[in-house]
Amino acid sequence: MKRSKLVVANWKMHLNVHQASLLVNRLDKKIAIYRDVEVVLAPNFICLQPISMELDKRKFRLASQDGYFVDEGSYTGAISFSQLRELVHYSIIGHSERRRYFNESLDVVRDKVAAAVRNNITPILCVGETREERNQKETKQVLHDQIVSALSNLTSEDVENLVIGYEPVWAIGGKEPAKPDTIAQAVSWLRYQIGELYGEKVAKSVRIIYGGSDEPEYVNGIMAIEGVDGLLVGHASLNYVQFADIIERVHHSRVIGNEE
């Protein structure tokens, strides 16, 4: 199956409704419609509804940054995937900041992934090792455990349609992404694991994107890596000039998804 290019803007806990709307407006003027690049914006929960009303849906899709794994009930403060299903195509799940600051365990991530799929929302499952785990040579084991656990309640068909974000925790929020060799090894290991669990066809269909200090100048190098289908962009996505530059570079990058 041919994969398509994907760029996701993770706005994290930045921007109020007014600021988010202004950014969408500027992006809209600056970004052309590229049929080969899907552009997804992930604002905070309160911005989703107003932004969905003004978004040019030929150019952008929406993602939530999280969601709760129970569909409905007495869970004060939570927002479920069943409440998000009319608003978003995607949900970022298992981001390292959620795992770290909100104590999200492997089991919680697994249940959130299943809840998103159950509600017809495509998970963007984030996985990645910490600096310490890399130094201890535990990267492969960590990625293996995160993938096996998160996907354990899904069918092959569910997994085929999934997006995986490889985000080495140590590369997030910095000035430079991980080196191309490092990204290539992790991405090929993730595809190998998925192949072992769900078969070759699924491993070739699942989209894997890279996140961690994706500045425009690094895009060509990252997009040249075999198996990388796009980018998950944090701080650079808050600057419309930089983000538009990233999209354009992704558009001009290699044709993906035909690798044998």
Q: Catalytic site residues?
A: 95, 167
Tokens at residue 130, please?
């910490």
d(Cα 126, Cα 25) in Å, to the nearest integer?
28
Please select the residue that binds ligand PEP; options are 40, 47, 51, 232, rule is CB under 6 A.
232
d(Cα 93, Cα 24) in Å, to the nearest integer?
23
d(Cα 246, Cα 244) in Å, to the nearest integer?
5
Nearer to ligand PEP, 202 or 234 (CB): 234
Please select the residue that binds ligand PEP; options are 5, 98, 134, 235, rule is CB under 6 A.
235
Nearer to ligand PEP, 162 or 202 (CB): 162
Nearer to ligand PEP, 212 or 230 (CB): 212
- Minimum CB separation of residue 72 from ligand PEP in Å reads 29
> Distance from first CA to last CA of the chain, Å, rounded?
11
Please select the residue that binds ligand PEP; options are 125, 213, 240, 249, rule is CB under 6 A.
213
> Cβ distance 209 to 230 under 8 Å?
yes
Q: By CB under 6 A, tell whether 214 contacts ligand PEP.
A: yes
Please select the residue that binds ligand PEP; options are 168, 216, 227, 234, rule is CB under 6 A.
234
- With CB under 6 A as the contact rule, which of the stretches 52-60, 134-142, 230-238, 239-247 interacts with ligand PEP? 230-238
Window 160-189: residues binding ligand PEP (CB under 6 A): 167, 172-173
Q: Which residues pair with 207 in a beta bridge?
A: 163
Q: By CB under 6 A, tell whether 65 contacts ligand PEP.
A: no
3-state secondary structure of 92: strand
Which of 84, 107, 81 is CA-nearest to residue 94?
Answer: 107
- Minimum CB separation of residue 222 from ligand PEP in Å reads 12
Q: Which residues pair with 38 in a beta bridge?
A: 6
Query: Quick one: residue 198, left, alpha or beta (phi over 0 = left, psi -120 to 50 = alpha)?
Result: alpha
- Minimum CB separation of residue 71 from ligand PEP in Å reads 26
Q: By CB under 6 A, tell whether 94 contacts ligand PEP.
A: no
Query: How far from chain centre, in Å, is Cα 119?
Result: 18
Q: What are phi and psi of 221, to 5 degrees?
A: -65, -40
- Minimum CB separation of residue 16 from ligand PEP in Å reads 19
Please select the residue that binds ligand PEP; options are 67, 123, 128, 212, rule is CB under 6 A.
212
Nearer to ligand PEP, 93 or 233 (CB): 233
> Cβ distance 10 to 95 under 8 Å?
yes
**In the complex, which residues of this chain contact ligand PEP (CB under 6 A)?**
10, 167, 172-173, 211-214, 232-236
